[in-house]
Structure 1
Amino acid sequence: MKRNLEERLRDGTVIAGEGYLFELERRGYLQAGSFVPEVALDNPEALKQAYRDYMNAGSDVVLAFTYNAHREKMRIIGKEELLEPLNRNAIRLAKEVAKEHPVEEALVAGNISNTNLFDPEDPASKERVRGIFAEMVQWCKEEGVDYVNGETFYYYEEALIALEEITKQGLPAVITFGLMGENILRDGYTVEEACKFLSAKGALVVGMNCFRGPDTMQPYLAKIREHVNGYIAGLPIPYRTSEEHPTFFNLPDGGCSCHLPLETTFPTALDPLYHNRYELATWAKEAKGIGLNYIGLCCGASPAMLRAVAEAVGVETVNSKYSPDMEKHFLFGKDKTLKQHNLDYRLKA
């Protein structure tokens, strides 16, 4: 039988594959800048393939790609009439792919996120945000998701509104924060106290996602683990952020010789700043070691990176049969049938 999220968390580490936003932009199906997932309507087969690739790389969940598919974003691009069809189709496609898992049907999660509308000094903005979340979570409920993932919040109160609307529909909630460079949420809460409050209010999983790479997220994940008794999530970006540049928004590339359209590498010139899969695997082991239960990667992650993370915490994925094996490589292998003159040449190649 298909286990629910809480059952899987009790049984071990849950792997959550994200990163569709950047991946589908790389594949040519999404516009950088607005970052609205119109692919759910324009190119549904491309979206299904992305879902499939991350699931086969180890994700226990197919996250419906409705990040930024909220009323405010759709207003900005002038396509509010597509709001409900986009949300529903993204979930339906996720459900189709989840059934393909050859071992155990994957979970399907609805997705809501930061609205960029929230203003702690403006009660009207809070009601607009609540309305946005309410309609999206209602569609999630009607389409039969297993839980709702609310993510990338940089205001505690906006995350609380998200949790309240998810709870009203009787669905489990995963709530994660995106921590900006100030190292504190924008309404003054520390990320660890915000997670503690939300866990106490009924969130099944709390933690962090996006904005920060492993090096600048991990210290805060450790603080959350110290303050929260429940399940903890960590989904960093796969970029080399640093203490000087803790997020990818202002991450410089000193070696770039071309003219960038923006002053920073974000979002379309981050390529030289990736962690490799082995560094990400090392982070995953550390994350599991401090007690994280829900582990994955966010914007910029590829399926191969996610597979390395999953394998690092002991998960054999559907596509582990394609994991690197250099045994038969003509220059670097150790198979006895390889030609010695090629092996001798490897240091000169």
Structure 2
Amino acid sequence: MTFELNHLLRDIVEKALLLSLLHLPPQGLLERLSSGVVVGDGGFVMALEKRGYVKAGPWTAEASAEHPEAVKQLHREFLRAGSDVMQTFTFYTSEDKLSVAGNGTAFTCREINDSACRIAREVANEGDALVAGSITQCPSYAQGKGKEAVQAQIREQLKVMVENKVDFIIAEFFHYIEEMEWALEEAVKTGLDVAATMAIGARGDRTGVPPGQCAVRMAKAGAKVVGVNCMFDLDTTLDTITKMKEALDAEGLSPFLMTQPNGFHCPGVGREGYLSCPEFPFAMECRTVTRFDVRKYARAAYNLGVRYIGGCCGFEAYHIRAISEELQKERGGKLPPASLKHESWGYGQRYSSTPYLRERVGREYWENLVPSSGRLQPPSHGFHPAPKD
């Protein structure tokens, strides 16, 4: 037995040494998308606001420099849940946004972005994850300062990300396709692969450009991956990406598709998305999607042809784990470490000491459950689906 064990250990060590000598680089984003599905991460700004590290209102990401351990811990939770990408926590981190009154940050764009890149890389190296440098919309666009002013802000962010050798760029949370095109023009110059996601619903961008046209313009501007993120719920996001796919197919374009919706039920909202919910931002818990809602979304997205599937605001680590578990087969049978403490469809309840809880197991029970808010009175505010439309 000892001889066999030593022989097995020797084989393992020899194989490990051989792999290290080969210096095989990890697969990049496009290679991973070509061979399977990439699981994104979840939301940072709202999660860290609840934990006391982000200020609601500005929603800027100075926590990456001010409280790096908090950001690192959230990255680790997403990695453990199955995320294949560590997206830098650099949301709203342009100098023009940081200078807005009320932010109260003493950190520069460079300091925040540099720290965010280093944190993301450290955690990515703990698994087999890629690092995505995230750039977002700039106030300069809405202020009418023009293309050069906006691109100057974008260049400052990209410069730090290139210096830190991120694996690819995500241009996300853009409300206007024109601004997105300006950002992509700069992002493509880095030579890195670029993904582009707009914060729009089925009605299109803030000027009325339909989602299909937005997708076509993003692809023609050089994005290898296109889609939508944040602002809208699971169902609206699926509807929007369907419209994008139809337009791309009609134009003979075939970028990879990506969805990262928010984690709140908000049907019927207008172009402002979940911002128009009276509970936003401090009482959204009653609208939170369940892990079973997310499994349904992940399957539907995959069946539509989406291959980069993640979440945004409201998506916690257990939501990302739900994506990983739903797409286990498509991910080569791989389950994330967090699944060691979780049995799908509630089967862990079999070990409960309470008899009636042991009955709450199985897909039929949990998939068909419509959760209650737990409140006996109706909402205190009327819901206006589109306050600015």
Is the TM-score greater than 0.5?
yes
The runs of 4+ residues in structure 1 deviating greater than 3 Å are 78-81
> Corresponding residue for 1:250?
276
Alignment pair present for 1:299 and 2:313: yes
Superposition pairs of residues 22-33 of structure 1, within 5 angstroms: 22-33=46-57
CA contact (8 A) 1:56 1:317 kept: yes
CA distance in 1 between counterparts of 2:205 and 2:115 reads 33
Pairwise mapping of residues 1-349 of structure 1 onto structure 2 (< 5 A)?
A: 1-76=25-100, 77=103, 79=105, 82-101=108-127, 104=128, 106-119=129-142, 122=144, 124-179=145-200, 183-228=203-248, 229-244=254-269, 247-251=273-277, 264-314=278-328, 315=331, 316-324=335-343, 325-331=348-354, 332-333=357-358
Shift of 1:78: 5.4
What is the Cα-based RMSD across aligned positions, in Å?
Answer: 1.7
C-alpha deviations, 1:124-175, integer Å up to 9, x for none? 3322211110111111111100001110111001111111111111111110
Kindly provide the CA deviation profile for residues 171-227 of structure 1, in whole angstroms up to 9, marking residues without a partner as x.
1111001116x8221233211111112213321100000000012221111111222
For residues 92 and 269 of structure 2, what CA distance do their matches in structure 1 show? 28
SS at match of 2:337: coil
Report percent identity of matched pairs. 30
- Tell me if the contact between 2:197 and 2:228 (Cα under 8 Å) persists in the aligned partners: yes
The offset of 1:244, in angstroms, is: 5.0
Amino acid of the structure 2 residue aligned with 1:248: Y
CA offsets, 1:97-117, max 9 Å, x none? 11111xx2x100101011233
CA distance change for structure 1 residues 227 and 80 in 2, over 3 Å: closer, same or farther? farther
Distance in 2, matches of 1:233 and 1:55, equals 19
Structure 2 CA distance, aligned partners of 1:36 and 1:244?
25
Question: Deviation at 1:322?
Answer: 1.6
Separation (CA, whole Å) in 1 of partners of 2:183 and 2:193? 12
**Matched residues in 2 for 1:133 and 1:154: separation?**
15
Q: When the two structures are aligned, how many residues end up with a matched partner?
A: 316
One-letter code of the match for 2:88? Answer: A
* SS of match in other structure, 1:215: helix
Shift of 1:67: 0.7
Q: Aligned partner of 2:32: which letter?
A: R
TM-score (norm 2): 0.78
Amino acid at match of 1:292: V
Contact 2:269 2:276 in 1 (8 A): no
Q: CA deviation at 1:265?
A: 1.1
Contact 1:8-1:14 within 8 A present in 2 as well:
yes
Gaps of 5+ in 2: 1-24, 249-253, 360-389
Note the C-alpha offset of 1:245.
Answer: 5.9
Paired amino acid for 2:85 = V
2:140 counterpart SS class:
coil
Instruction: Give the structure-1-normalised TM-score.
Output: 0.86
Greater CA drift, 288-297 or 216-225: 216-225
